[in-house]
Amino acid sequence: MKRIAVFTSGGDAPGMNAHIRAVERTGEKRGLEVIGIIGGYSGMMLGHFEVLDRIRTANIIDRGGTILKTSRCPEFEEVEGRIKAAEELRKHGIDGVVACGGDGTFHGAHYLWQEHGIPIVGTPGTIDNDLSGTDYTIGYDTAINTAAQAIDKIRDTADSHGRLFFIEVMGRHAGFIAMDVGIACGAEYVAVPETLTDIDEMYQRILAQGLDKRTVVIVGEGDELGGALGISKKLEERYGISSKISILGHIQRGGSPTVRDRVLASRLGAAAVDALLEGRSDVMVGEMSGQITSVPLEQTWEERKLVPPYLTELAYLLV
């Protein structure tokens, strides 16, 4: 193996640049040439490749986003799209690939290996923290800190006016962000996709807090009642309670990564390069209990990662 490539795909996550830097630096130390694929799977299909070196990856470790850009690529879901991508990789002499992303990225990586035999190792880059096989994903720590800072500011207004606020955070299929920031910010109720939201119980908690007091409810965007807007509407219809709604949105995906995310991204980037050199493929490298782990890519989506019950119990206990 003499030349490897790295790309970022799907939603961006703080720490992706630290990850790119680690892949380049580790590859260089291992005697490899490292190529950056610009624009995720779309760039792979179009042959948008760029040589990475120490100068290109200097001073990026503290930057959010990704210098390699990213995309969602429906064309890659088709057999023809993957054929084009494989042809470009071979044309450019790529011996192995590091794929940083989430569930969709890993599906594509798995098929690229299965159909074309191109060695590929995944690294978990998503703020949702929803991938099995790793305790934390790249970007998650930054996202929850960004969300917590925003919620603390909203709480000041909620307290000053004695209002009920529904604050929606990201997490279409997983409630890790909602649960962690809900506990950290002292929410009266946390609604997550993994559990059914009980409007009557929520009302009782709001009532216990006092209708004229500051009340904050954290909602994961994937909640079955329709996120913060849906819950707010149902509560008003049933109990006549008005509320304010704040949807934090993509602010959670940006910003300078925390130290924890920079270290995790660096460690997993280096581990991915070594995994390729050891002949491993169709796996994701992660970190569990402080140790580097390696699991089949299929496991990352087949074995659903759920919010631990002890966190749900703690959120209920601390109301």
Q: Annotated active-site positions, please?
A: 128
Cα separation of 246 and 231, whole Å? 13
Token output for 61: 């470790």
Cα separation of 70 and 144, whole Å? 22
Cα separation of 93 and 126, whole Å? 29
Give yes or no for a contact between 92 and 35, defined as CB atoms under 8 angstroms apart: yes
Q: How many CB atoms lie within 10 A of CB 246?
A: 18
Cα separation of 4 and 179, whole Å? 38
Closest CA to 36 of 81, 108, 254, 44: 44
Token output for 295: 């699991």
Query: Which DSSP string corresponds to 9-38?
Result: -SS--TTHHHHHHHHHHHHHHTT-EEEEET
